[in-house]
Amino acid sequence: MIVKKSRTPADAHSIGHQNWVDAKNINVTFTIGHDGTNIFLSYLVEEPQIRAVNTEFNSPVWEDSCVEFFFSPGGDGEHYYNFEFNAIGTVLCAYGKDRHHREHLPESVLSQVETIPSLGKEPIEGILGKTRWGLQVRIPVNVLIYNRIEDLTGLEAKGNFYKCGDKLDHPHYLSWEPVRTSNPNFHLPAHFGLLSFQ
């Protein structure tokens, strides 16, 4: 995928691969752009249930209605950041090479990530019925503390985009690039796609 130098790219991509379980009632698209020193993400989600109760940095947002961006900007193709956001914009991020060997980024770093959720930032215990929500995200390069990146322009990286909700009535695991494993696991850089920043 080409990541254009734009805050609001026009081309939307689908998080449509249904991994491990059926998730036909969920539709998710995203855009990604940059301005050299920031990554801009925009998610649009339609789903039959909303849950967003986690409000603290690095709390288990994957249990809520959650969208994710896994990003490997380094040259080794193994280590990556997992940025995870629930529907009210709470941020989790860690860095490492797999799901078991990770270091959470400190709150002082994650506080630089800007999230603008369409549903507001108050906890949501549960909304039942087809609902659309959106999330705008700005990730400064300063947040990528394990890499020295001054300008994203020209960067060849890898990544994947996900939608999940482990504590919803019907858990699901959608992705941009398919994850072809027998058990649910997004923490697999071998299944990331190419992100070419221009």
* Structural contact between residues 134 and 44, judged by C-beta atoms closer than 8 angstroms: yes
What digits encode the pLDDT tens for the residues 177-198?
999 999 999 999 999 999 999 9
What digits encode the pLDDT tens for the residues 134-170?
999 999 999 999 999 999 999 999 999 999 999 999 9
> What is residue 109's DSSP assignment?
H
Segments making up each domain of the chain, as ranges:
2-179+191-197
Architecture of domain 2-179+191-197: Sandwich (2.60)
* Structural contact between residues 163 and 45, judged by C-beta atoms closer than 8 angstroms: yes
- Enumerate residues 6+ apart whose C-beta is below 8 A from 52: 64, 65, 86, 87, 88, 90, 119, 123, 124
What digits encode the pLDDT tens for the residues 23-69?
989 999 999 999 999 999 999 999 999 999 999 999 999 999 999 99
pLDDT-derived band at 77 (thresholds 50, 70, 90) equals confident
